[in-house]
Chains A and B, each alone.
Chain A
């Protein structure tokens, strides 16, 4: 695959009224040791909207997502080539502090991973390390607002001091979203955030994603085509480390231009 001679061409359909670009990627390649996981991905991600990455397992969508806040740095032997900019600033620039980047680009993981601390401390974790709160009251306000934004506050307001690990799976995932929001990021990356949740919890998280779109740029990786269709404005289809096609969600799902996209969304492979 990696030695395919013809340069790969991504099929792009622009929005009718394009949003300003928040994230711009140009020829991003990722190599894990000797295995190349991404073969040059280029995409523009619009501000204050939800972009969904779909594609079969092992297609590189999660790998690309993890490039956007440089989480691949934590994997031994991973190498990233190409260029990604956030508001025009190269995030792989050696001058850039990765810690600062991750404060601007938050992440929610596939499996809910609350810290073994109280609900309050889970949400307060980010603001504390970044010194976002000037006083105790300030911190409390941030925690409460974040929990409210994650539509979790009403369920947990009486037990903020109980461990976050004691919540149900769906609540844990919303706690993780609240934790990410508390740092006031500009971008939230979500790596299959609902794959460990039941349908009711999934519906709540999706509703939440839709609300968050007004303030945050959201990139979500999902295996569920329905979910991509429900929550996203733009969809990108990945296959075998290539970005095959990207465009407005309704366009991708009703009128895909590429055969493989068509096959995937109609369930013929994947």
Chain B
């Protein structure tokens, strides 16, 4: 049986455990000698949990341990000269694995032929569709045979152990069902552990991502000095041929400038449009208009950014080039900062408007009434009372949108190009940090050269920048929350 079958077995027995556990508790309750400490479903879940969890843990432990034992068995058959060659050891073991896989396909007759040397193992394997790099050495054959045998044994052991554990736990849990058993607390404790595990996944992943980026970035900074990276004004990583000592220039500033410049134009579009639409939605629109327009606006947030990229590439970019840039002599490229900023700004409108709308709507009605009751017009009320009260929250929304703008990649590639320029003219090609990360990490990679490792340095810089923005946004939003609770 494979692990999938074992899991199915565990699942089946657990469900069975739930059914009989529930049945037993109902029966006990009917006897009525003692009041039951929990509901029937809790006793069922108690048996289910007790059946499934130990079995799954045993299965996981065995699955982790098996490769080590198999590896050990292979090494026992390898000759000393192979074992001594540290660098190619893993390759040798992989070769044995390959042979072992091939052996599974051959018939007993063919096996006999291979053993007495009438045919080569390689030709037999090739016939069955298992290609080998070279001829099979006798020691490899022996190791492969023993590997297969060990694997089969281990698989059997796993099957038996897991089945036994499952069945024993099932019986044990079933016997434990008594009226005074606090099944509810036990089950709830298990659920609590599950909840904790689920939330730690996100936290641990974040830590893992940061650490993996950090080590690669430190590796990069051991080759290129941080001063050259953070203060360099030329981005020219030069994918040098392997072995060449030319390292290229990794100036971060053009990318940072491009990112900020494009984000600036994006925010220039998104903030006023988003904010005005939020004000309209929350203060002026009738509920009927609002119920149609708000979802429509939010659909914008669901469009994949690559689609915005097409729009920029085929429509906005050429239009700006033909009607603005060329006539005024400002540039000749359909790829430019303005296009990227405009289209990205449109993409960000729903982020700004939807969040701000919620925040503006949350401003207490009493404040509006107070202002209107003093004879202020609606517009005065919005400008002087509602917006100032909602301002911290709106700033939070804008900062969230800004961190989206900084992290955006697809629109920039298609709308602003990939050339790292540092210019004040928004009609030139420019590019951003994320685009360059993609650039450096596509193609045939070798994680030892600064050309690839620079991506991690860029990544962690970007991570820190957006994290700072998000923390700022959250702090502001939290402060806002306290004001009205």
Binding site for B on A (CB under 8 A): 69, 71, 74, 76, 99-104, 106-107, 109, 111, 113-117, 125-126, 129-130, 165, 176, 179-180, 183
Q: Give the contacting residue for A179; candidates B287, B364, B374; CB below 8 A.
A: B374
Q: B388 and A109: CB pair below 8 A? A: no
Q: A130 and B369: CB pair below 8 A? A: no
The smallest C-beta distance from B368 to any residue of chain A, in angstroms, reads: 7
Check: B116 CB closer than 8 A to any chain A CB: no
Q: How far is the CA of A109 from the CA of B370 in the complex (A)?
A: 7
Chain B residues contacting A100 (CB-CB under 8 Å) are: 375
Chain A residues contacting B366 (CB-CB under 8 Å) are: 109, 111, 113
The smallest C-beta distance from B373 to any residue of chain A, in angstroms, reads: 4
Check: B371 CB closer than 8 A to any chain A CB: yes
User: Which residue in chain B gives the minimum CB-CB distance to A104?
Assistant: B375
Check: B240 CB closer than 8 A to any chain A CB: no
User: Of the 9-residue stretches B35-43, B294-302, B377-385, B408-416, which lies at the interface with chain A?
Assistant: B377-385
Q: A71 and B373: CB pair below 8 A? A: yes
Given A115-B367, A116-B388, answer yes or no on A99-B373 (Cβ-Cβ < 8 Å): no
Digit string of B278-293 for contact with A (CB within 8 Å is 1, else 0)? 0000000011000000
Chosen A-B contacts, 22 in total, with CB atoms closer than 8 Å, are A74-B368, A76-B286, A99-B375, A101-B375, A104-B375, A107-B369, A109-B370, A109-B373, A111-B366, A113-B366, A114-B370, A115-B388, A115-B389, A125-B371, A125-B374, A129-B376, A129-B377, A130-B375, A165-B483, A176-B370, A180-B374, A183-B375
Q: How far is the CA of A117 from the CA of B367 in the complex (A)?
A: 11
Q: A115 and B370: CB pair below 8 A? A: yes
Given A116-B483, A129-B380, answer yes or no on A102-B370 (Cβ-Cβ < 8 Å): no
Chain A residues contacting B373 (CB-CB under 8 Å) are: 69, 71, 102, 106-107, 109, 180
Chain A residues contacting B368 (CB-CB under 8 Å) are: 74
Number of B residues, CB within 8 Å of A: 21
Check: B94 CB closer than 8 A to any chain A CB: no
Q: How far is the CA of A183 from the CA of B380 in the complex (A)?
A: 15
The smallest C-beta distance from B476 to any residue of chain A, in angstroms, reads: 15
Q: Which 10 A-B pairs have the closest CB atoms?
A: A103-B375, A107-B373, A102-B375, A113-B366, A126-B374, A113-B370, A99-B375, A116-B389, A129-B376, A129-B380
Chain A residues contacting B76 (CB-CB under 8 Å) are: none
Q: Give the contacting residue for B364; candidates A99, A113, A125; CB below 8 A.
A: A113
Specify which of B364, B374, B376, B384 lies most central, judged by the most chain A CB atoms within 10 Å of its CB: B374
Q: How far is the CA of A99 from the CA of B364 in the complex (A)?
A: 21
CB under 8 Å from chain A, chain B span 407-426: none
Check: B372 CB closer than 8 A to any chain A CB: yes
CB under 8 Å from chain A, chain B span 252-289: 286-287
User: Which residue in chain A gives the minimum CB-CB distance to B374?
Assistant: A126
Given A113-B364, A116-B389, A117-B388, answer yes or no on A129-B374 (Cβ-Cβ < 8 Å): yes
Q: How far is the CA of A225 from the CA of B442 in the complex (A)?
A: 80
The smallest C-beta distance from A173 to any residue of chain B, in angstroms, reads: 12
Specify which of A69, A115, A117, A176 lies most central, judged by the most chain B CB atoms within 10 Å of its CB: A115
Q: How far is the CA of A74 from the CA of B372 in the complex (A)?
A: 9
Q: B374 and A74: CB pair below 8 A? A: no
